[in-house]
Structure 1
Amino acid sequence: MKDSRRNFLSTAIAAGALVPLSQAVANSQEVSAHPGSGARQTYPIVLSTYSLWRFHNEEFRDFDKCIDLADEMGFDGIELLLYQLEQNELLSHSKMMSYKRHALRLGLPIVGMSTHQGFVTPDRELRRQNIDRTIGQIELAYTLGIPTMRVNTGRWGTSGSFDALMANRGIEKPLAGYTDEDAFPWVIEALEACIPTAERCGIVMALENHWGLGLTPEGILRIVNAVDSPWLQITTDTGNFLEEPYTRLEKIAPQTIFVQAKTYYGGGEWYALDLDYPRIGEILRKHHYRGFISLEFEGKEDYRTAIPKSLELLRNAFPRNAPSNPPA
């Protein structure tokens, strides 16, 4: 693996892709270093396997390949997109455990698991099925030694396709005869049903500011505050507030337990945001966030250049011990 890492770095440097990366890490450490301090100098930056597979890149369905690339590119850990593995019908328990062993051998922890479920439906039996699914995901995270997993509210499903939902900037009409007010109790009740398993397994569910009822900070906070448990917190996705992102990100920062950071080199698949990551870093430090930053690359540029550039960006934006001066 050391040889493969050297080969990867040599190739990338020759292509000009990673020239700034080592300097970026050095710069971020220099900014925040305090002689004699044993504190970590940068936030741990991990790679979401979504950055590689993206629901269609078949060559990256192999989680082992994603682990190797995260290691070779210099990330501090990895976040698993569970749906990526669920599509493999031949996946066995022993294979899942082999991923855990592989990551351990590289000293590359699997720190998060991104899952899917949907509670926004008047169908009680369908909600129960999604509760059972989520409980099974919690137990899988426990088996893999993963401390937190992303959960969603789900959505109404009236958009037809995800492309149509994105064309409407994530806004979706409720089913006929219902409103979002009907759906909040469904989601709260469902997540409450998952809390005992989360506590037993020591897995923090982290509700993402995604689509559905998590589209706004008010929506996601309403759910998290109603459940009122340390085992349900928030996954902050920097790219999912399409308007007033910094004001909205600040509202959910105090209860954030995990951060997914979007980049869009080469233009976005559905949209691209010009995010000010140093400003986002200030917001997180202001609210004492000290956890993982998971890269979700969602651009069209080749991953071999875009992901190293994204890592450089995040290393510079998230020095761990920089002074916190909230933007005006």
Structure 2
Amino acid sequence: MSISRREFLSSSAAAATVLGATSSGTAGEKEPVQAQPRRARIGISTYSYWRYNARTKLSIEKCIDLAAESGFDGVEVLHVQMKGESNKKLQNIKRRAFLHGIDLCGFSTHQGFVSPDKARRQKNVEKTLHQIELAYQMGIPTMRVNTGGWGTSANFDELMRNRGIEPRLKGYTDEDAYGWVIGSLEQCLKKAEECGVLLGLENHWGMARTPEGLMHIVNAIDSPWLQVTMDTGNFLEDPYEKLEQIAPKTVYVQAKTYYGGGKWYTLNLDYSRIAQILKKQNYQGYITLEFEGKEDYETAIPKSLAMLRNAFDG
């Protein structure tokens, strides 16, 4: 079939227009795609609604509902808040989150390895192994772990009055305690790898109260399955310098706010500055709100989310 000169010129012009729209001056080369800034993933801990407060001891499921309504991207589950551990219960939590289009982004647990009693340490190892299995069953990819403390404070209120510092057990040293913690956490790594649950050691009092103590443990173990959970509110003095020290190993962030004044203390944290500390390390993970103020959560949580969005996306 033959075509006229006019038809040929017309079709050639159309082809040139298409080519010009997809090339950068050299035939066959495409325009580079401009990368768009990634929106920060902001979650909320169920602790933010619960806070050990009898009036607001909401279920995990209700917390997931409220988080989705508020516009959070993920929910961190506080283990002690759970009302059951049956597989049915775990899968219902996972289902609830999925239907809301929200991630189960973290699992916050408690354990203590600072004890000269080997049987007691082993009991806490077994407890932690069980918690890793729970995280796996819910499809949660990371779990907060603690070192535990000396246990010489009468209660948590006393520990907080003393700024997280407590006397050692008589006859023992910090080096003893570091050895107990390191040996215990090492027993949890195989299970963490099998389940694909990344452990994050938090700066949560005890032997991880200081950045030096926390990093001593993480560096001594030197495993890709034990990194750092950064709690922005647990360094009470010079927080930014200390947060910078743990940022290179941070895989998960818990962001404290204190609207209405904190239950134990209040920190006036500069989240734009914290965002820059994390940006320098190319941190890509979750920023998860832990609201710890006295204001009603119905007003404090939306304010917290707006502030975090502005700091991390602004």
Query: Which TM-score bucket, shorter chain as reference?
Result: 0.7 to 0.9
SS of the residue aligned with 2:187? Answer: helix
Q: Residues 304 and 61 from structure 1, CA distance in 2 versus in 1: closer, same or farther, beyond 3 angstroms? A: closer
**2:276 matches 1:282:** yes
The aligned residue for residue 149 of structure 2 is 155
Structure 1 residues 254, 124: closer, same or farther in 2, change over 3 A? Answer: same
Choose the corresponding residue for 2:41, options 39, 44, 48.
Answer: 44
Preserved CA contact (<8 Å) 1:236 1:252: yes
Match of 1:181 among 171, 175, 180: 175
**Considering only CA atoms, is the larger Rg found in Structure 1 or Structure 2?**
2
Distance of aligned partners of 1:70 and 1:40 in 2 relative to their CA distance in 1, 3 Å threshold: farther
* Aligned equivalent of 2:263: 269
One-letter amino acid of the counterpart of residue 141, structure 1: A
8 Å contact kept, 1:73–1:308: yes
How do 1:57-76 and structure 2 match up within 5 A?
Answer: 57=54, 59-76=56-73
Q: Which amino acid aligns with 1:72?
A: E
Q: CA deviation at 1:56?
A: 2.4
Q: After superposition, what is the alpha-carbon deviation per residue over 1:243-284, rounded to whole angstroms, capped at 9, x for unaligned?
A: 110000000000000000000000000000010100000000
Sequence identity, in percent? 60
CA distance in 2, matches of 1:58, 1:93: 28
**Count of residue correspondences:** 283
Task: Report how far residue 287 of structure 1 moved.
Answer: 1.1
Q: Partners of 1:102 and 1:192 in 2: how far apart?
A: 34
**Secondary structure of the corresponding residue to residue 246 of structure 2:** helix
Q: Give SS of 2:107's match.
A: strand
Match of 1:172 in 2: 166
2:49 paired with 1:55: no
Paired residues of 2:90 and 2:137 also in contact (CA < 8 A): no
Of 246, 258, 267, 1:252 maps to 246
Q: What TM-score does the superposition give when structure 1 sets the normalisation length? A: 0.84
- 1:1-328 paired onto structure 2 within 5 Å: 37=34, 39=36, 41-57=38-54, 59-85=56-82, 88=83, 91-319=85-313
- The alpha carbon displacement at 1:93 in A equals 2.1
- Ranked by relative contact order (alpha carbons within 8 Å, sequence separation 6 or more), the top structure is 1
Gaps of 5+ in 1: 1-35, 323-328
Map of 2:27 onto structure 1: none
SS in 2 for 1:141: helix
RMSD (CA atoms):
1.4
Deviation at 1:95, TM superposition (A): 1.6
How far the C-alpha of 1:39 sits from its partner, in A, is: 4.2
User: Would the alpha carbon gap of residues 144 and 76 (structure 1) be closer, same or farther in structure 2, given more than 3 Å must change?
Assistant: same
